[in-house]
Chains A and B, each alone.
Chain A
Amino acid sequence: MSTAVTLDGITKRFPGVVANDDVTLEVERGTVHALLGENGAGKTTLMNVLYGLYEPTAGQVYVDGEPREFDSPRDAIDAGVGMIHQHFMLVDPMTVAENITLGNEPRKWGGLAVDRDAAREQVRELSERYGFDVDPDADVEDVSVGVQQRVEILKALYRGADVLILDEPTAVLTPQEVEELLAVLEELTAQGKTIIFITHKLGEAMHAADDITVLRDGKNVGSVKADTTTREELAELMVGREVLMETDKPPAEPGAVSLAVDGLRATDERGVEVVSDVSFDVREGEVFGIAGVDGNGQAELIEAVTGLRQPESGTVSFGGTDVTDWSRRRRIDEGMAYIPEDRQERGLVMEFDLVDNAILGSQHTAPFARGGRIDWDATREHAERIVAEYDVRPPNADATSGSLSGGNQQKFIVGREFERDPELVVATHPTRGVDIGSTEFIHDRLLDLRNEGRAVLLVSSKLDEVQGLSDRLAVMYEGEVMDVVDPEAVTEEELGLLMAGEYPEGYGPESEAGDAGCVATDGEPNEATQPASNDGSEGGTR
């Protein structure tokens, strides 16, 4: 077997960010190679380098053993590398055949006219050769998403691609369509084509691929054979085994239920259900953690809790009141602080200075606004206090938030949200990109809030963080809560399996209910960490 594609020491830097760090990768001809990693691990960037969309900062791309410099996707296609993006690039009102031949139409009359018949015929042939069930005359807008994807694949094949890169191909598909796609991939490799597919779902990688390369933080952290690896190994590679932090924390003294989520279902922008019947509750005086590989519905769950996403069904209760229909503003006013996952899109207005940003979310409430007028003096004082207390650098409240580094932006958001004097803090990746010292500071403040009797809902993809801070820990996989465990009792292996969507041997929800936790979907708080309190059962189960 020969090597179809070799990436040798690829480094891709963007200003201030290293997206790929010295990645070396070999893809055998006629195999399916999965590129596995969390969101932001650098998978798509790496493939964009191979596809000629980005020029690597360092490193060399080889196709069929020959060094190549791609200036554009056209060069890559000429070398036989095709890419199918997550969002299809098809012209909806045109037929399948027209879409596939677009830009490379067969000509007749000495090149003066497009030969539609020949185009249709070529597409039909191509489709039959690879066992695709595609009607060349159908309009693209009328066919299913799965068929549209196959049209994209045919388009690449029509242009002579030998190596096909698929970016998260299953993200838009139904389970049945996924099976069909896998069959298509098998047929393609059987005929000598090479497939590289990008995914963050490790089950899928193991199921479909021959080889798996795991990227983390832009680095290749391991290439393994799919049939000899295990889910745990992959989960560990993806998330990274990190040093468990020594966090001194007094035992939790959980009080009344602050936040109760019951039977929550939510869909993403494409209408795919990504949160399926999730129930849990967070009590005053405890940190409730949610662990899981990124992209398993945590983001949508949190948005539903904080009022940024309307759930399909289920309820969110806050302080004993059903707040499912409450506006975002009302939730803020009632004491729900939220450190968002995407600080640069949601958490801060990039063009505003820190003074402006200090009242994002409290622009209508005293002491910053009275009678519709903003008190800029009070606001400035507030901003300067956050900057000083949370060590935001540069210590200049007039700096635009866009001019701050990511870590400082995060510190400012954390400061703003903590200073709200909240009943409940929803913190997603609160220390992402923050230096060690500030991370500790943020952790300490989170625990302070907990010790003061506030409720904390913490989502993080850093295992050490959720494990170290949480009093109870839910593990999410594909939109469901696998289990709620005691973070001190659970082993890393068990966590890894749960994150991969499997229950460890002999780890039935029933058998472990007494010590490790219980299945979250029945909404009962974990007996092991809950004191017997009479208001204990009213939150999740109702």
Chain B
Amino acid sequence: MSSDDTPNTETDAADSDGREPGTNTGQSDAPAAIERLVRASAVERALISVSALLLSVAVGFVLILAAGRMTTCSTAATTYFGVGFCYDPVTVYDLLFLGAFGDLSSDLINGQLATTLSQTTVLMFTGVAVAVAFRAGIFNIGTQGQLVVGALGSAVATLWASTLVSGVVGTLLLLPFGLAVGAFVGGVYGAIPGALKAYADANEVITTIMLNFVATAVALYLVQDHFQDPESVATQTVPLPEYATFPSVIFRARDDFSLVAFVVAAALLVAVYLLIERTSFGYDLRTSGIQPEAAEYGGVDAARTVVASMTLSGALAGMGGAVYVLMIIGNFQTGVPAYGFDGITVSILAGNNPLGVGFAALLFGVLKSGSIVVDVGTDVPPQLVGVLRGLIILFVAMPEFFRMIGTRVWSVRPSGSGGQPVTDGGTVADSRGDVEDDVDAESGVPTEGGERDE
């Protein structure tokens, strides 16, 4: 993008009312490529995504070769055109993808796929947690903290409850109980920054980040001083009995994956989707997220909506923590992986659509479990594996990102949503009106007023 056609940079200062200038629907100033991208059909978008994935692999390929030239090794891993390279890109990508899915041709149900899906399951919770807040216009960076307190609460409460019931009945009672406790604790923890934002005007980005540290530190203290497993040197709680954790269905028990949890997560995504799209609460939430002034006009109680959506977001993250405990590790241990932070990327990748979160979480799960295998199976340093992961996410996200830029900054309308503005009876199609403060959108409309009214 050349600096000449960025209309928004300089008009800011001109804007005496502080509104964002420069958006309009008419002949947009967007570069042609962006306009084309925004108007792409569903098939085109799918093709674009696939090409982006392939392109990221191509770039990664070159990167691996270059990195391989810059290290020293006794035997070259591969040789191209007589030049030896320390890392072989083909092996790396082979392990990355086969590591994620396992050898599907020989055994569909394998440990690799289980790891991928169990990562995916937890990321579905944190991803949808972030998405809910985003849709309400709130940037919840505190998903990690909400996940940690949810995990701890769930582990401790389930451990206590597991002394009361056991067996199949125990499983049927304890799992919903554990999830509910995780949701409750996470929800309360999410409600705190929500209330701070709604009633004390505290920026949620700051408060949620701070509460992440609080969560980790409090969890550490509670486990060390109150819930420590006396038989373990690690900082962790007493392991839950087998009947208090998610049962393995189809997959092997040692793979730490339960199809039940996966189905619960998937059902939850659909439920959240319906909540946002089909209910009055969802309407309030979406309106507040997109256009707070219009929400206010439409009678939405802004403060209540903020608290409610943060509570919901925290509850979803807390359930993610519960699933992490009840499905993957079987107790609470300090040093919870950064599912919460990955949830932010998952949500953005999914365009904050709860259904999209499922697919984005899957991509993340694939890359997470795949890169573990690459780490183990090759000499490629983990940092480089991280770069390769990042490349894939970046490339896959970019087309959607530019689409978003196109609709937000230049207000290019996607095809099928009304298209170009229409004129009626001589009224010039006006812009979104926030062209510039002192320009009344109508002031140029020729039909208004008496001039034509002879």
Contact = CB atoms under 8 A, between A and B. Distances in A.
Given A39-B438, A438-B425, A360 B298 contact: yes
Contacts of B433: 342-345, 406
A360 B294 contact: yes
**A15, A327, A331, A393: which has the most chain B beta carbons within 10 Å?**
A15
A406 B434 contact: no
B381 interface: no
Nearest to A309: B296
A86 B423 CA distance: 35
Contact of B438 (A16, A45, A217, A402): A45
A18 B428 CA distance: 10
A197 to B, nearest CB: 13
B18 interface: yes
B447 A363 contact: no
Contacts of B434: 344-345
Contacts of B10: 53, 72
B279 A373 contact: yes
Interface stretch (B102-110, B283-291, B353-361): B283-291
A243 interface: yes
Chain B interface residue bracket vs A: 35 or more
Interface stretch (A254-262, A346-354, A507-515): A346-354
B439 A89 contact: no
Interface in B293-323: 293-301
B439 A19 contact: yes
Nearest to A44: B438
Nearest to B423: A405
B interface secondary structure, majority: loop
Contacts of B443: 17-19, 40-42, 217-218
B283 A87 contact: no
Contacts of B18: 87
Given A85-B13, A353-B417, A403 B280 contact: no
B419 A19 contact: no
B5 interface: no
A403 B420 contact: yes
B413 A242 contact: no
Contacts of B295: 349
Interface in B85-106: none
Contact of A373 (B278, B450, B452): B278
Interface in A401-427: 402-408
B290 A53 contact: no
A405 B429 contact: yes
B418 A396 contact: yes
Given A15-B431, A360-B298, A406 B293 contact: no
B312 to A, nearest CB: 14
Contacts of A407: 424-425, 427, 430, 445
A149 B218 CA distance: 49
A330 B299 CA distance: 8
Contacts of B411: 402
A403 B418 contact: yes
Interface string A74-92: 0000000000011101000
A400 interface: yes
**B11, B290, B433, B453: which has the most chain A beta carbons within 10 Å?**
B433
B408 to A, nearest CB: 9
Given A40-B438, A43-B438, A19 B444 contact: yes
B28 interface: yes
Contacts of A222: none
A314 interface: no
A348 B431 contact: no
A172 B444 CA distance: 29
Interface string A430-445: 0011111110000000
Given A14-B24, A433-B448, A328 B297 contact: yes
A372 B279 contact: yes
A249 interface: no
A266 interface: no
Nearest to A21: B444
A190 interface: no
Given A19-B443, A19-B444, A464-B450, A436 B425 contact: yes
Contacts of B17: 86
B14 interface: yes
**B278, B428, B439: which has the most chain A beta carbons within 10 Å?**
B439
A169 to B, nearest CB: 11
A408 B16 contact: no
Contact of A19 (B297, B435, B453): B435
Given A361-B298, A396-B418, A433-B442, A374 B424 contact: no
B207 interface: no
Interface in A331-380: 331-333, 338, 340, 342-353, 356, 359-361, 363-364, 369, 372-374, 376
B93 to A, nearest CB: 39
**B299, B419, B443: which has the most chain A beta carbons within 10 Å?**
B443
A347 B433 CA distance: 12
B427 A329 contact: no
Given A349-B294, A402-B25, A435 B426 contact: yes
A433 B427 contact: yes
A363 B298 contact: yes
B441 interface: yes
Contact of A363 (B284, B418, B420, B429): B284
Contacts of B16: 44, 85-87, 167-168
Interface in A229-243: 240-243
B440 A40 contact: yes
Contact of A40 (B27, B301, B413, B442): B442
A528 interface: no
Contact of A17 (B27, B424, B431): B431
B445 A406 contact: yes
A436 B297 contact: no
B439 A45 contact: yes
A431 to B, nearest CB: 8
Interface string A4-38: 00000000011111110100000000000000000
A15 B412 CA distance: 13
Nearest to A294: B440
A398 B153 CA distance: 46
A346 B298 CA distance: 8
A73 B11 CA distance: 11
A192 interface: no
**A16, A348, A364, A376: which has the most chain B beta carbons within 10 Å?**
A16
A399 interface: yes
A19 B430 contact: no
Contact of A432 (B26, B293, B422, B448): B448
**B14, B278, B420, B449: which has the most chain A beta carbons within 10 Å?**
B14
B255 interface: no
Contacts of A14: 24, 431, 435-436, 439
Given A42-B438, A363-B284, A403-B413, A16 B26 contact: yes
A398 B13 contact: no
A54 B449 contact: no
Contact of B26 (A15, A85, A346, A462): A15
A48 interface: yes
Given A344-B433, A403-B421, A406-B427, A349 B438 contact: no
Given A363-B283, A403-B417, A406-B427, A40 B439 contact: yes
Given A243-B450, A432-B442, 19 more contacts: A14-B431, A14-B439, A19-B435, A41-B440, A53-B11, A240-B450, A329-B301, A344-B441, A349-B294, A363-B298, A403-B413, A405-B422, A406-B433, A407-B424, A407-B430, A408-B427, A433-B442, A434-B448, A436-B453
Closest 10 pairs between A and B when the two form their complex, measured CB to CB: A40-B440, A399-B418, A329-B299, A18-B444, A44-B438, A433-B442, A403-B418, A406-B430, A15-B26, A242-B450
20 contacts: A14-B436, A15-B25, A40-B439, A167-B16, A333-B299, A342-B433, A344-B432, A345-B293, A346-B293, A349-B294, A349-B295, A353-B417, A363-B298, A403-B418, A404-B418, A405-B422, A433-B427, A433-B430, A433-B445, A464-B450
